[in-house]
Amino acid sequence: MRREEVGLLVDSLKKAAAARDVVDISLGVGDLIQNMTCRMVFGEAKNSEFDLKPLARELLNLAGAFNIADYVPFLGAFDLQRLTKRMKSFSKAVDTILEKIICEHEREARWKKKQQMKDFVDVLLSLMNQPMTSDEEVLSTLDRTHIKAILIDMIVASFDTSATTIEWTLSELLRHPAAMKRLQDELQTVFGLDKMVEEKDLFNLPYLDMVIKESLRLYPVGPLLLPRNCMEKTIIDGYRVPKNARTIVNAWAIGRDPNAWSDNAEEFLPERFADTSIDLRGHDFQLLPFGSGRRGCPGMQLGLTITRFVLAQLVHCFNWELPDGVLPNELDMSEIFGLSMPRANHLVAVPKYRLRV
């Protein structure tokens, strides 16, 4: 499925390359990730009736918005910023769409006694109303509300994360032609120019891994990760943290800290990972794009696989140049702060097909 969706994107980019058109990479990659997610979760690519991308973006905006009631609690009752009203409207819209999707899957399940392929919604529906037990104790029962909550978690977590990482990584590669050339050389050595990237060979690409690590260091998908609640009072580096304190980890600042990354911490330099064992799984606290421990991101492996595959394919299949004579060091790298950290402006470039297939 991933190969098929990426192939469709490559085909559209080949047509643009033949016409020397400027392409909106942000839009293309965003649609690609949305289609992949919808096919995995719902069994079909996005359609106009069930387009969840605007709703996912609205939730991220609401979750990351400044809320004055966090600092002056009694103002929360007045909803001065209309955040509560927007959240209620969002919840109603999402519930309507997810209810339609679930009902459609239930109808298909009744008509098709034996389905050839099950998507994630089918799996959840098969578990609905079955008690979840541990040591013969009934813990909970999966119901319709739980299914909707799980689905919206998956949608919001996947739509923005991989697409944002791919955008930032391509942006830095466009700004650093030497790094782009080295990555293309590695891909050409492994795959040649007569075939596209195969997902099974992604782990034979050490420089690709270095590039992605460096991109996530500078542009973590969640710059402040997710808030944590301190379970008991403790002292960390001389600071007293009371019980039930809300704690926030500034992964963005850690990734740019000169004490952890030397004086060139602000520079894009994938080679800094060449002789280190630093990984992305939360074992090394100077690099925490997915958090750490039991509360780390459960979708990390899938997200990294998609990011590696899409990025490798785009770099292997095409040479890229900025439009209108823009120089690499002139590329706009401004960002939007929030729960996630996407580019402020879409990334656009001109592709030139480089394979012989």
Residue 4 — very low, low, confident or very high, per pLDDT cuts 50/70/90? very high
Write out pLDDT tens, residues 250-266. Answer: 999 999 999 999 999 99
Rounded distance between C-alpha atoms, residue 152 and residue 87, angstroms: 14
Mean pLDDT within 62-90? 91
Residue 58 — very low, low, confident or very high, per pLDDT cuts 50/70/90? confident
Percent of the chain with pLDDT over 70: 94
pLDDT recorded at residue 19: 96
pLDDT recorded at residue 137: 53
Handedness of CA 140, 98, 24, 309 (dihedral sign): positive
User: Both tokens of residue 323?
Assistant: 């439009």
**Residue 343 to residues 160, 220, 333, Cα–Cα distance (Å):** 11, 12, 7
**Residue 341 to residues 106, 224, 332, Cα–Cα distance (Å):** 37, 10, 15
The second-level CATH assignment, the architecture, of 2-353 is: Orthogonal Bundle (1.10)
Domain range summary for the chain, segments of one domain joined by +: 2-353
C-alpha atoms less than 13 angstroms from C-alpha of 35 in its C-beta half-sphere: 16
Residue 310 contacts residue 162 (beta carbons within 8 Å): yes
Higher pLDDT, 123 or 308: 308
Higher pLDDT, 128 or 202: 202
Write out pLDDT tens, residues 213-244. Answer: 999 999 998 999 988 889 999 999 899 999 99
* Residue numbering of the annotated binding site for heme: 297
pLDDT recorded at residue 44: 80
Mean pLDDT within 118-130? 84
At 47, the amino acid letter reads N
Q: Name 132's bridge partners.
A: 140
Higher pLDDT, 159 or 326: 326
Residue 102 contacts residue 121 (beta carbons within 8 Å): yes
pLDDT recorded at residue 269: 98
Rounded distance between C-alpha atoms, residue 194 and residue 146, angstroms: 47
Residue 7 — very low, low, confident or very high, per pLDDT cuts 50/70/90? very high
pLDDT recorded at residue 135: 57
Give me the numbers of helices (H) and strands (E) for the chain, helices first please.
Answer: 11, 9
Mean pLDDT within 140-160? 85
The full DSSP string for 249-291 is --HHHHHT-HHHH-TTTTS--GGGGTT----SSSSSTT--TT-
At 340, the amino acid letter reads S
pLDDT recorded at residue 147: 92
* Residue numbering of the annotated binding site: 297
Write out pLDDT tens, residues 163-172. Answer: 999 999 999 9
In the three-class reduction of DSSP (H, G, I as helix; E, B as strand; rest coil), residue 342 is classed as coil
115-120 contacts at long range (C-beta below 8 A, 24 or more positions apart): 117/43, 118/43, 119/39, 119/40, 119/41, 119/42, 119/43, 120/40, 120/41, 120/42, 120/151, 120/154
pLDDT recorded at residue 43: 84
Mean pLDDT within 117-128? 85
